[in-house]
Structure 1
Amino acid sequence: MAQTLKIKRGNNANLGGLTLEAGEPAFVLDTGKLYVGDGADKVLINPDIVPKSKTTDKLNTARTISLSGDITGSVSFDGSSDVTIVTTEKASGVTSGTYSKVTVDKKGTVTAGTNITADDVPTLTLSKISDVGTAASKNVGIASGNVPVLDESGKLDTSILPAIAVTDTFVIATEIEMLALTAQVGDVAVRTDLNRSFILKTADASIVANWQELLTPTDAVLSVAGKTGIVTLTSADVGLGNVTNESKETMFTNPTFTGVSIAPTADAGTNTTQIATTKFVTNAVVNKTSISGNAGTATKLATPINISLTGDVVGSTSFDGSTDVSITVTISNIDGGTF
């Protein structure tokens, strides 16, 4: 009969309490490990061989990953987790600042920085400049289409802008004062001794012939009611010496009319506080129907009345006095019979 040789066995959880004699084996069921006793302890016969493993969760020795060249940086890596390398760009040697002109290498790194000068600006045609205005395309000069410039005295050429005289007015009493004036062509001298004005037509105010009298138009008003200068008129100056000034508040209060006063005639039938002329009254009398109230004579009543008969005889009619009327009467019925 065949014999079966069995060794000690159990799970890894019970491995701590296991005691083996020297040369005695034991197999761990859930880890697949084989132990043999050495008389003092148990020795693992088949341990994991880490250095010769093809795959692992972590390197036995961490390694450093470094960057060099234009970018530098490094990090320690053992494969147990992701890592990030903090990088540093190589210094260009250009001082920090703002530059309008820079030099870069083939990698785009700034190697020099300066500010532009006039030599750096290329020559441009006017068509490539968008904000210079239309005057920039015109030549300087005084011909048609040119842009004029000021002369050394700060003025435009007289062919472009003729000299303009600013007229001053001088009030003087005599010719001597007029000839002593410091006047320019176009200035006016008002002579109070002559009530006339003169304008300097040619330079040199000290010469009488250089002054031109300003003639007064023949159709101008020279006087008012025989008065000249500052004229203040009275009612007597214009033939109204017997006229007094009255306001409308006083001139129509209790007026007394004399002679034949005339007023507008009101329309027939007017019943207001308007003044009634003799014509209005005459028309009202002729057309008596236009008069309301109790009239002495009338052709008809303003309101027709009803005339009625009652008692043994009944009947009625409307009467306004304009025509004769007839009343149709009815005798009241009595009981019939033979009497």
Structure 2
Amino acid sequence: MPVIKIKRGLSANIPSLTLEAGELALATDTGKLYAGNGTDKDLINPDQANAETATKLKTPRTIAITGDGTGSSGGFDGSSNASITLILANTGVTAGTFTKFTVDSKGRITSAVAITAADIPNLTLAKISDAGTAASKNVGVAVGNVVGVESDGKINPNLLPALAITDTFPVASQAAMLALTAEVGDIAVRTDLNKTFILRISGASTLANWQEILTPTAAVSSVAGRTGAVVLSASDVGLGNVTNESKATMFASPALTGTPTGPTAAAGTNSTQLATTAFVEAVRAALATADALKAPLASPALTGTPTAPTAAAATNNTQIATTAYVKSQGYLTASDIIDGGTF
């Protein structure tokens, strides 16, 4: 026969226990039985020694606060809520707004004054995280100083290095190059020589002050025995008998004749490789073997331990019911135990 066990546990856990309407729970240490009523729980078998619930204390009590605060609720018998007005003890500090405080061991403020300059410690620049690197530099023109601007908001020109802007001058002759008003670093492009010169020292009218800018010498002197503007042909590289043929025309739609052969792919191959007659025959034999192992659809004679998909618990149709489906219906057996659990 099935065994039914109600929920059970110690009486100390009863206050936090939630019961469904009609659900039972037993306090195993007191023997008291409780039943859920839909919103809470009722004691079914109370004893007469102490009341389970009461609206008033038998003996009224007084609740009071002492120490650093005072206050009293007067009498309290449990029939209604009671409140206490807390009065904090004065610390001796005058009410106001302050920036410097002194507190006692309990954290109470015992004195308060305004902060003064003497209260602020001197800080080194190393302890100021956002002062920036310029804050540690002096203003001046010595090495390591920060340069200040003049009354016009600009740096004194004497503190700035001279600037040179390089110009490029196309010229058609040596005389035209030597007649240039050029500065060191300027470039002259000689169209008559197809060469370029740069003024290396002051004095553009002196030829020796100009330096030719050399270009790298080409290492290749000829290609396939040809010089100048070379256009190679197939015969220049020994391919005179070779014709141009693209992959598109070389391998597209070949017209095979005779009895072409090819390697037989391994069983199970699934690719664009050509299938030989041997591969096709192997596939046909494998299909015939697999088909012989299948049971017929009409009245199959199953053996061993056949399986089937398990239907959902609420299924109601002609689908095969597995043992898992039958167990999911929750039918009781002789060995089943209905247990409400413990608390």
Quick check: TM above 0.5? no
Structure scoring higher RCO (CA < 8 A, sep ≥ 6) equals 2
Tell me the TM-score normalised to structure 2 length. 0.30
